């Protein structure tokens, strides 16, 4: 089987990570071109990972007859437009989350994908994390009986820059969006209603930028499960990523990942090193696995494991969470479903 020829749009942090994983850790791939508005970034990425072509205009990727699939790793405000253009060019598409910050833009992009008959995978890498996949397996196989409660903890070690906050779309669409996806994935049911309690408890500048940095969100699922998501932009001890599900026959939970398993015991305390400090270190394996799944889906003409609709629904949840916070009431997803 011939390798899949790929072009990467965006050579920032996530684009470089995907370039590294494709060129060094993903069989049956051939990365031919990387594009970035910064010529230096594109050239550096190409040099570092031995990619033949570096360009500043992403359209060169879409116009190349050799390239079969594209990774869209550019800024969020470009995702939907590039999905449409890539679909029209007949390219299969892997796009980082979110597809867009508005539902009409997402729907227009997904319609273009459907018309073109190409594949689209949304970059929710946590679905491929071994810890979370084991939780999903326990639910699917009924190991803990009928699920009643899910609790997700997701806290960053430090807030992003204020410049990033201003263009991020807000915490619910930038950070919590991963947790919304995990809630659906782990429980195996859709969320019908959310209620948000949130505030600014980390940095007043985040509030001045119109965002929040601390939140607890309650979820009500169609199958009756109740869930909570616990978010903070600051956990000084590291990247805090945990989940627990309670069922009629037991419970399952995951703990944080650590750089080692050593435990120090002395006359003062029993302790260990801090958890892995951020998402690239914590989710190293899942980033590799999601790209392998995308490549496999394209080469073997299978559905992608994280569809465009999977990319849309967490945005609906994020919009509902924001509305709930602003109006201080539970909000059903049906209230915002159609934009």
Phi/psi-derived region of residue 192, left when phi > 0, alpha when psi is between -120 and 50, beta in every other case: alpha
pLDDT at 339: 73
Q: Are 175 and 322 part of one and the same domain?
A: yes
Express each pLDDT in 217-239 by its tens digit: 999 999 999 999 999 999 999 99
Does a structural domain hold residue 204? Answer: yes
CATH of the domain at 204: 3.30.360.10
Rounded to whole angstroms, how far apart are CA atoms 233 and 164? 13
Q: Are 181 and 54 part of one and the same domain?
A: no
Rounded to whole angstroms, how far apart are CA atoms 34 and 45? 7
Does a structural domain hold residue 301? Answer: no
End of a domain among 50, 85, 118?
A: 118
Q: Are 109 and 136 part of one and the same domain?
A: no
Rounded to whole angstroms, how far apart are CA atoms 57 and 34? 10
* Helix ranges, the chain (H): 13-25, 39-48, 59-63, 79-88, 103-116, 130-140, 162-167, 171-174, 176-187, 204-208, 279-282, 284-299, 308-327
Q: Are 113 and 173 part of one and the same domain?
A: no
Does a structural domain hold residue 59? Answer: yes
Q: Are 114 and 158 part of one and the same domain?
A: no
Number of separate domains in the chain? 2
Which range marks the domain in which residue 59 is found?
4-118
Q: Are 179 and 220 part of one and the same domain?
A: yes
Q: Are 266 and 189 part of one and the same domain?
A: yes
Q: Are 20 and 41 part of one and the same domain?
A: yes
111 has a pLDDT exceeding 90: yes
Does a structural domain hold residue 296? Answer: no
Question: How many C-beta atoms lie closer than 10 Å to residue 12's C-beta?
Answer: 14
Q: Are 208 and 182 part of one and the same domain?
A: yes
Nearest to 332 by CA among 182, 221, 189: 221
- Residue 241: band (very low, low, confident or very high) from pLDDT cuts 50, 70, 90: very high
Nearest to 103 by CA among 258, 315, 326: 315
Does a structural domain hold residue 307? Answer: no
Express each pLDDT in 186-203 by its tens digit: 999 999 999 999 999 999
Q: Are 32 and 138 part of one and the same domain?
A: no
Rounded to whole angstroms, how far apart are CA atoms 34 and 26? 17
Does a structural domain hold residue 36? Answer: yes
pLDDT at 158: 96
| Complete DSSP assignment for 153-198 | EEE-SS---HHHHHHS--HHHHTHHHHHHHHHHHHTS-EEEEEEEE
End of a domain among 91, 118, 145?
A: 118
Express each pLDDT in 270-288 by its tens digit: 999 999 998 999 999 999 9
- Residue 338: band (very low, low, confident or very high) from pLDDT cuts 50, 70, 90: confident
CATH of the domain at 50: 3.40.50.720
Rounded to whole angstroms, how far apart are CA atoms 314 and 312? 6
* Phi, psi angle pair for 12, to nearest 5°: -80, -155
Q: Are 327 and 189 part of one and the same domain?
A: yes
End of a domain among 83, 118, 153?
A: 118
Does a structural domain hold residue 300? Answer: no
Rounded to whole angstroms, how far apart are CA atoms 305 and 121? 7
Q: Are 97 and 132 part of one and the same domain?
A: no
* Phi, psi angle pair for 209, to nearest 5°: -85, 0
Does a structural domain hold residue 232? Answer: yes
Is the whole-model pTM more than 0.75? yes
Rounded to whole angstroms, how far apart are CA atoms 124 and 177? 9
Cis geometry, peptide bond prior to residue 98 (ω within 30 degrees of 0)? yes
Phi/psi-derived region of residue 171, left when phi > 0, alpha when psi is between -120 and 50, beta in every other case: alpha
């Amino acid at each position: 089987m011939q390798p899949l020829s790929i072009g990467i749009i965006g050579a920032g942090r996530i684009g470089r990570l995907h370039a590294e994983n494709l060129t060094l850790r993903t069989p049956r791939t051939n990365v031919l071109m990387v594009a970035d508005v910064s010529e230096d970034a594109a050239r550096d990425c190409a040099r570092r990972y031995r990619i033949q072509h570096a360009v500043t205009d992403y359209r060169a990727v879409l116009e190349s007859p050799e390239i079969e699939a594209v990774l869209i790793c550019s800024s969020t405000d470009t995702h939907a437009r590039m999905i449409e253009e890539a679909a029209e060019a007949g390219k299969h598409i892997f796009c980082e989350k979110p597809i867009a910050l508005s539902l009409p833009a997402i729907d227009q992009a997904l319609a273009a994908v459907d018309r073109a008959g190409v594949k689209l995978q949304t970059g929710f890498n946590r679905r491929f994390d071994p810890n979370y996949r084991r939780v999903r397996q326990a639910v699917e196989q009924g190991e803990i009986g009928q699920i009643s409660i899910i609790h997700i903890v997701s806290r960053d070690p430090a807030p992003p820059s204020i410049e990033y906050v201003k263009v991020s779309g807000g915490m619910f669409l930038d950070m919590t969006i991963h947790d919304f996806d995990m809630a659906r994935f782990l429980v195996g049911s859709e969320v019908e209603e959310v209620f948000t309690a949130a505030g600014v408890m980390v940095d007043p500048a985040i509030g001045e930028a119109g965002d929040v940095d601390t939140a607890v969100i309650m979820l009500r699922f169609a199958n009756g499960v109740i869930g909570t998501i616990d978010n903070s932009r600051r956990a000084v001890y590291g990247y805090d990523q945990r989940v627990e599900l309670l069922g009629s026959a037991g419970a399952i939970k995951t703990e944080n990942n650590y750089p080692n398993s050593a435990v120090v015991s002395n006359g003062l305390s029993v302790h260990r090193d801090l958890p892995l400090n951020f998402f690239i270190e914590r989710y190293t394996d899942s980033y590799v696995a999601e790209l392998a799944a995308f490549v496999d889906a394209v080469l073997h003409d299978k559905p992608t494991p994280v569809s465009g609709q999977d990319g849309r629904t967490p945005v609906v949840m994020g919009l509902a969470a924001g509305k709930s916070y602003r109006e201080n009431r539970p909000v059903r997803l049906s209230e915002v479903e159609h934009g």
